[in-house]
């Protein structure tokens, strides 16, 4: 039921955010169509933005005259039969540089194939929504994957449920999953690698596990640079498996197979180093006047910016205009501190269910490394440009399994069974509330109207889908969350039967 509720939430977000209101969505769409049309990926500072896609921002009501987001009113919507495709003559022209060319082409190959299946006469906003649907399907398996991590370490029913609930505890994840963004494929591969790393660490040295891990790593590396952080973690997982099983030959063979298959995406980063002298070239802003800031001079302001932006952007920004935070910074800040404390507890405990300290480290390491790399790289760019850009909470989502593990295994592992069940039910209620409150806040910020009914009228007028379908997705999300809480409560109130005396003790 949790997976069904999560899918319903993703579908609701796919229509709640107006076209192009999600981060860089218009650029991701442009990159998709550029690859589809040319079958080429020029790369860093060479990929053109497409004029026809960029021009469609006006028809989508993306900005007002001051280039700011504003509530869209039903009266201003272009009737669906009159909404044009991106181009009527089948030609696309370049318009400046699309900075997404710094990323590998994996995600855009996937969305380009889907886009190629869409008739060229399809209205532009419906083409964007179909690409959003692809992204919905990419992140839909997250509850199942996170639950699989908990099961790998023999967590009980309550802890498994909490692991599956993790996506609903972070509303921004749902908002991102309902939009066009290459982060979504990176999130899927990161979660998949975390599950496979957990299985390897407890002794799964089967060839098919190594094959799957190498393939997922390869796809991840062909998507975004964050997957590079999993390489040392995968190597360590096989070392841990070697110590636990004493089957060093199988461990070395599995690592070799995974490493070989990772070349599906590893070539891109080798190419970057050879061509640009850096694994991940970046920097699209001009240098600040007067030269770079000194580290001591720039550090205080950068720390303030990071403390201000990262918590809100991790938990919920919902594509509202800057400074219009959907929730109090005190709330997102408190959640961030709580999450950090839970990770420390998870890392320090000798055992959380069947997860030992080294297992906790393997699960937390990608998330922690992503945070350190994010802060280091953005600080370096800040010193050069004077702009605190790139402090995006979504960049940490590739390691999101760490959040699921520290809550499901670390927190619930501290509690007695009865209290675990109560906490699981409480978290389902809080997750449902946080998600519904975020959807309501997004409706208020993006759609004009004095009440919920008026805002839904504006949404359905602008939506690329028929009104009954658009409204149905939002209503379905609310109903699914309520049903999820009820079903979860009924299931968890009943005590979990003890395992039989002769139960298999192996994790796999």
pLDDT digits (tens, 9 = 90+) for 30-62: 999 999 999 999 888 899 999 999 999 999 998
pLDDT score of 466 more than 90: yes
Phi-psi region of 246 (alpha: psi -120 to 50; beta: other; left: phi over 0): left
Phi, psi of 94 (to 5 degrees): -70, 150
> Would you state the pLDDT for residue 245?
94
Please enumerate in sequence order all residues whose Cβ is within 8 A of that of 64, keeping only pairs 6 or more positions apart, or say none: 70
pLDDT exceeding 90 applies to what percent of the chain? 80
Asked if pLDDT for residue 279 goes beyond 90, the answer is no
Q: Of 106, 98, 124, whose CA–CA distance to 31 is shortest?
A: 98
Q: What confidence score (pLDDT) does residue 176 get?
A: 97
Integer Cα distance of 40 and 54 in angstroms: 20
Average pLDDT, the chain: 92
Strands 94-97 and 48-50: antiparallel
What are the residue boundaries of the structural domains of the chain, listed by start?
A: 138-493
142-172 pLDDT, tens digit per residue, is: 999 999 999 999 999 999 999 999 999 999 9
User: Chain centroid to CA 179: how far?
Assistant: 10
Rounded Cα distance between 277 and 280, Å, is 9
Predicted confidence at residue 483, as pLDDT, reads 95
DSSP string covering 397-462 = GGGTHHHHHIIIIIIGGGS-HHHHHHHHHHHHHHHHHHHHHHHHHHHHHHB--SSHHHHHHHHHHH
Buried b or exposed e, range 79-88, using 16+ CB within 10 angstroms: ebeebebbbe
The pLDDT value recorded for residue 508 is: 38
Return the structure tokens found at 165: 């609930």
Whether residue 450 has pLDDT greater than 70? yes
Contact 166, 424 (CB under 8 A): no
Residue 325 is predicted with a pLDDT of 86
Residue 50: helix, strand or coil by DSSP?
strand
- In DSSP notation, 8-33 reads HHHHHHHHHSPTT-STTHHHHHHHHH
In this prediction, residue 491 carries a pLDDT of 87
- The DSSP annotation for 174-228 comes to HHHHTS--THHHHHHHHHHHHHHHHHHHTT---HHHHHHHHHHHHHHHTT-GGGG
pLDDT band, residue 503 (cuts 50/70/90): very low
User: 507 falls in which pLDDT band (50, 70, 90)?
Assistant: very low
- The pTM score is 0.94
Q: Which SS3 state, helix, strand or coil, does residue 1 take?
A: coil
pLDDT in tens, 1-27: 899 999 999 999 999 999 999 989 999
> What confidence score (pLDDT) does residue 284 get?
61
Rounded CA gap, 475 and 439, in Å?
Answer: 11
Tokens for 14, please give them: 């796919």
% of the chain surpassing 70 pLDDT = 96
Among 123, 140, 124, residue whose Cα is nearest residue 50 = 124
- Let me know: does 185 contact 112? Beta carbons within 8 Å: no
In the predicted model, what is the mean pLDDT of residues 375-401? Answer: 90
CA separation for the pair 388, 401 (Å, rounded): 27
Say what the pLDDT of residue 505 is.
40
The closest of 170, 431, 199 to 316, measured between CA atoms, is 170
DSSP 8-state code for residue 36: H
Residue 149 tokens, joined: 């991590």
State the DSSP H helix or E strand holding residue 290, giving kind and residue range, or none if neither: none
Question: What are the tens digits of pLDDT across the range 194-252?
Answer: 999 999 999 999 999 999 999 999 999 999 999 999 999 999 999 999 999 999 999 99
User: Mapping DSSP to helix (H, G, I), strand (E, B) and coil, where does residue 2 land?
Assistant: helix
pLDDT of residue 9: 98
| Alpha-carbon torsion (410, 411, 415, 420), positive or negative | negative
Q: What is the structure's pLDDT at 323?
A: 61
415: Cα separation from own chain's centroid: 29
pLDDT given for residue 495 in this prediction: 65
What is the spatial distance between Cα 429 and Cα 399, in angstroms, rounded to a whole number?
A: 24
Residue 43 tokens read as: 């790369």
Predicted confidence (pLDDT) at residue 465 exceeds the cutoff of 80: yes
| pLDDT at position 328 over 80 | yes
């Amino acid at each position: 039921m949790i997976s069904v509720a999560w899918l319903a939430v993703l579908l609701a977000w796919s229509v709640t955010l107006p076209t192009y209101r999600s981060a860089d969505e218009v650029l991701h769409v442009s990159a998709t169509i550029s690859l589809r049309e040319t079958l080429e990926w020029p790369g860093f500072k060479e990929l053109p933005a497409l004029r026809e896609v960029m021009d469609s921002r006006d028809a989508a009501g993306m900005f007002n005259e001051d280039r700011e987001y504003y509530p869209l009113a039903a009266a201003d919507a272009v009737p669906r039969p009159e909404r044009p495709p991106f181009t009527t003559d089948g030609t696309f022209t370049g318009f400046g540089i699309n900075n997404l060319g710094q990323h590998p082409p994996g995600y855009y190959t996937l969305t380009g194939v889907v886009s190629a299946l869409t008739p060229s006469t399809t209205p532009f906003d419906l083409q964007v929504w179909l690409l959003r649907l692809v992204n919905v399907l990419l992140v839909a398996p997250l509850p199942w994957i996170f639950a699989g991590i908990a099961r790998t370490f023999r967590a009980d029913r309550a802890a498994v449920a909490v692991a599956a609930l993790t996506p609903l505890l972070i509303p921004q994840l749902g908002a991102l999953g309902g939009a066009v963004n290459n982060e979504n494929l990176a999130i899927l591969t990161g979660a998949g690698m975390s599950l496979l790393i957990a299985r390897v660490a407890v002794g799964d040295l089967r060839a098919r596990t190594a094959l799957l891990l190498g393939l997922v790593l390869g796809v991840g590396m062909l998507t975004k640079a964050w997957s590079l952080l999993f390489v040392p973690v995968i190597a360590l997982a096989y070392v841990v498996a070697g110590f636990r099983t004493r089957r060093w030959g199988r461990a070395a063979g599995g690592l070799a197979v995974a490493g070989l298959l990772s070349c599906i995406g590893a070539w891109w980063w080798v190419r970057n180093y050879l061509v640009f002298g850096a694994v991940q070239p970046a920097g699209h802003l001009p240098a600040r006047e007067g030269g770079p800031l000194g580290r001591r001079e720039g550090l205080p302001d950068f720390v303030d910016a990071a403390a201000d932006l990262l918590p809100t952007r991790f938990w919920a920004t919902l594509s509202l205009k800057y400074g219009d935070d959907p929730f109090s910074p005190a709330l997102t800040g408190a959640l961030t501190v709580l999450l950090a404390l839970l990770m420390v507890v998870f890392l320090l405990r000798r055992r959380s269910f069947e997860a030992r300290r080294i297992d906790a480290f393997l699960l937390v390491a990608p998330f922690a490394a992503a945070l350190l790399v994010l802060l280091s790289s953005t600080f370096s760019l800040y010193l050069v440009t004077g702009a605190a850009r790139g402090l995006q909470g979504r960049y940490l989502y590739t390691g999101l399994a760490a959040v699921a593990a520290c809550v499901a295994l670390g927190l619930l592992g501290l509690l007695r069974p009865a209290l675990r069940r109560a906490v699981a039910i409480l978290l389902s209620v809080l997750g449902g509330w946080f998600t519904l409150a975020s959807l309501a806040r997004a409706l208020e910020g993006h759609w004009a109207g004095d009440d919920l009914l008026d805002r839904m009228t504006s949404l359905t007028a602008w939506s690329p889908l028929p009104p009954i379908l658009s409204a149905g997705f939002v209503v379905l999300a609310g109903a699914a969350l309520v049903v999820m809480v009820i079903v979860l409560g009924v299931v968890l109130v009943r005590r979990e039967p003890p395992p039989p005396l002769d139960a298999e003790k192996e994790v796999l």
